[in-house]
Amino acid sequence: MVDPDITDLQKKAEHFESQYNAIKKEFKDFIETTRKNEELKKKDLQSDQAKKLLVIADSLCRMMNSAINPTCDAVRTVHENYHLNIEGMYQQVLSSGKLTPIDPQPGAIFDDTLHMAVGLEYNSKYPEDTIFSVVRRGYLRESQLIRPAEVIISKKPREPLPLQKPGMVTSIFNRIFPNRQKFDAITHDIDQLAHKESEHITRLEKEIAELEKKIEQNEEEIHDLSQIITEQADIQGQLEDDMQKLKDDLRTLTTHVREFERCISIRLHNNSLNLVEQMPRYQDPYQPGE
Amino acid sequence: MNKDIIGIDFGTTNSKMAYMLLDEPVVIENDQGSKITLSVVYFKNEKEFSIGEQAKHNQIIHPDKVVSSIKREMGTDYKKQVGRFKFPPEYIGALIFQKLIQDARERTGKTFYDAVVSVPANYSDSQRQAIMDAAEIAGINVVRLINEPTAAALAYGIREDRDRKVLVYDFGGGTFDVSILSVSSGFFDVDASTGEHRLGGDDLDTRIIAYITKALQKELG
């Protein structure tokens, strides 16, 4: 015969054993899940890091796409070098983050796993529901989507709504109340006129605004031109003054030259007289001395 | 018997899930590694659909095929027409629940059959029933519906150890709720709850976008 205490103890032992097994299984599951999650966390961390790089990649992308067309050759060369440098930096950023850009061509098919529609463009250039343009490039990291490419989708141009024919009830109503129909027609005409008038006013207002803008621009130009004219007049006056001074100088110079010439001629004359005086006198042998 | 219970926050804009791991609540990430899953469903056709981020990518291109903020329609006669079928809000909610459960299974390696789902404090009985139905369609047994302010209070460490009054301010993606709870004798009671069901972070986003667009139009023409 088995002791009841032993039976109890056995039951307790079994209970604890089953509890232990359950906990052991749970712990094993937990370790397995943790191991699996470790890989996922690693991937998540890598994608988080890659996301941080996107800010730089976007800035570089914007700089590359800036439309500057310099006319000067020297500036163009500098600009081209600058462009190449930026492109190099962009490629470096992509390779350091192991990023692959998603840059679909216009007309490509929209793929919701890689692209995100951010706008619509009504045109007939590309087929319906295809990509019209890319607003912001998307990126993949080892086949994991970091950010979808933000794209504008091409849609067919909207057609005007067809005019609705009056139904039977409206026709009967119109026959019973012909004046009402006329009144409606007049009201409709008035509404249309008011609409046209308001459109006209809006257009005129726009034109007035444009004209005002132009007048303002012209006034600015006139102001600039008048300033230039004033400056030119000042320069002309200064030039005239200089000319007058030069003329005066020339006159003074001419006077001096003349005086100088006169002096020279006088001196030459005097010199010649002296020479004559200094010359030995001819003594007539037939004339008695003085 | 599987004792694991998943906690689901079925939100107007975003949904989240969590479970207890060694007596600690842990938020479960979805297949994209994000802690939040967008409550958006895109019906590609009558049989194919996608949920979350991928669904949102189609919102502009196919607005008629994308359903968002379905929580607002719970308990109403709203029907979403897709092809020949008309889907009620419970069915669309169920698709989101299914996606959450599936992601949770992939992340944790556990299959959850039981769930606690949070609902707004001012939800009517029919709305609560609609949530229960949605969960049932998704194959989840809802063990308890918990009021959102109560869940928030519990999450912030307010226990039932002493009697007090708590104000919970919940500014979500689609709704704004303020509730006053009284904690007494170990129970949470919602004394008063009010809110604006059409005001949330999304509305702020829309206003900011409109403001910037207007400013740009004014500046650039």
> Domain ends where: A111, A136, A158?
A158
Cβ contacts below 8 Å, chain A against chain B, sum to: 42
Question: Within this chain, do residues A59 and A140 fall inside the same structural domain, yes or no?
Answer: no
Mean pLDDT of B77-93: 90
Question: Within this chain, do residues A5 and A81 fall inside the same structural domain, yes or no?
Answer: yes
Q: Do A117 and B107 touch (CB under 8 A)?
A: no
Residue A146 lies in a domain: yes
Of the pLDDT bands very low, low, confident and very high (cuts 50, 70, 90), residue A100 is very high
Whole-model pTM: value is 0.65
Distance separating alpha carbons of residues B192 and B206, to the nearest angstrom: 30
Residue A242 has pLDDT above 80, yes or no: yes
Cβ of residue B57 closer than 8 Å to a chain A Cβ: yes
The DSSP-derived string for A92-122 is HHHHHTTEEEE-PPTTPBP-TTTEEEEEEEE
Of the pLDDT bands very low, low, confident and very high (cuts 50, 70, 90), residue B87 is very high
Mean pLDDT of A66-81: 79
Question: Within this chain, do residues A5 and A65 fall inside the same structural domain, yes or no?
Answer: yes
Question: Within this chain, do residues A7 and A77 fall inside the same structural domain, yes or no?
Answer: yes
Q: Active-site residues of B: which are they?
A: 9, 71, 148, 170
The arrangement of secondary structure in B5-159, i.e. its CATH architecture, is 2-Layer Sandwich (3.30)
Of residues A141, A158, A152, the one with CA closest to residue A110: A152
Cβ of residue B50 closer than 8 Å to a chain A Cβ: yes
Question: Within this chain, do residues A84 and A5 fall inside the same structural domain, yes or no?
Answer: yes
**Averaged pLDDT of chain B:** 89
Q: Do B60 and A29 touch (CB under 8 A)?
A: no
Q: What is the dihedral of CA B200, B206, B207, B208, to 10 degrees?
A: 110
Q: What is the model's pLDDT at position A166? A: 65
> Which tens digit of pLDDT belongs to each residue from B202-215?
889 999 999 999 99
Mean pLDDT of A29-54: 84
Question: Within this chain, do residues A108 and A91 fall inside the same structural domain, yes or no?
Answer: no
Q: Do A120 and B61 touch (CB under 8 A)?
A: yes
Question: Phi then psi for A66, rounded to 5 degrees?
Answer: -65, 125
Q: What is the model's pLDDT at position B17? A: 95
Residue A144 lies in a domain: yes
Q: Which residues of A touch B110 (CB under 8 A)?
A: 29, 33
> Which tens digit of pLDDT belongs to each residue from A105-141?
999 999 989 999 998 988 888 888 899 999 999 999 8
By Cβ distance, the residue of A33, A112, A119 closest to B108 is: A33
- Number of folded domains in chain A? 3
Question: Within this chain, do residues A151 and A175 fall inside the same structural domain, yes or no?
Answer: no
Which of the residue ranges A200-204, A260-264, B156-160, B184-188 would you say has the lowest mean pLDDT? Answer: B156-160
Range of the domain at A211: 168-225
Residue B50 has pLDDT above 80, yes or no: yes
Residue A289 has pLDDT above 70, yes or no: no
To probe the interface with B, which of A26, A40, A112 has the most B CB atoms within 10 Å?
A112
Question: Within this chain, do residues A15 and A91 fall inside the same structural domain, yes or no?
Answer: yes
> Which tens digit of pLDDT belongs to each residue from B177-200?
899 988 887 788 888 888 887 788
Q: Do B56 and A116 touch (CB under 8 A)?
A: yes
Q: Do B54 and A47 touch (CB under 8 A)?
A: no
Residue A290 has pLDDT above 50, yes or no: no
Question: Within this chain, do residues A153 and A180 fall inside the same structural domain, yes or no?
Answer: no
Of the pLDDT bands very low, low, confident and very high (cuts 50, 70, 90), residue A163 is low
Residue A256 lies in a domain: no
Question: Within this chain, do residues A31 and A73 fall inside the same structural domain, yes or no?
Answer: yes
CA distance B109 to chain A (A): 6
Mean pLDDT of B153-161: 74
Cβ of residue B220 closer than 8 Å to a chain A Cβ: no
Q: What is the model's pLDDT at position A160? A: 67
**Averaged pLDDT of chain A:** 85
Residue A190 has pLDDT above 60, yes or no: yes
Put residue B90 in one of left, alpha, beta given phi > 0 → left and psi -120 to 50 → alpha.
alpha
The DSSP-derived string for A9-27 is HHHHHHHHHHHHHHHHHHH
Cβ of residue B1 closer than 8 Å to a chain A Cβ: no
The distance from CA B220 to its chain's CA centroid, rounded to whole angstroms, is 40
Of the pLDDT bands very low, low, confident and very high (cuts 50, 70, 90), residue A152 is very high
pLDDT top residue among B188 and A179: B188
Of residues B98, B72, B73, B97, the one with CA closest to residue B86: B73
Tell me what percent of the residues of chain B surpass a pLDDT of 90: 48
Q: Do A33 and B60 touch (CB under 8 A)?
A: no
pLDDT top residue among A68 and B168: B168
Chain B residue with minimal CA distance to A115?
B57
Q: Do B33 and A40 touch (CB under 8 A)?
A: yes
Cβ of residue B54 closer than 8 Å to a chain A Cβ: yes
The number of residues making up chain A comes to 290
Q: What is the model's pLDDT at position B1? A: 47
By Cβ distance, the residue of A30, A36, A113 closest to B54 is: A113
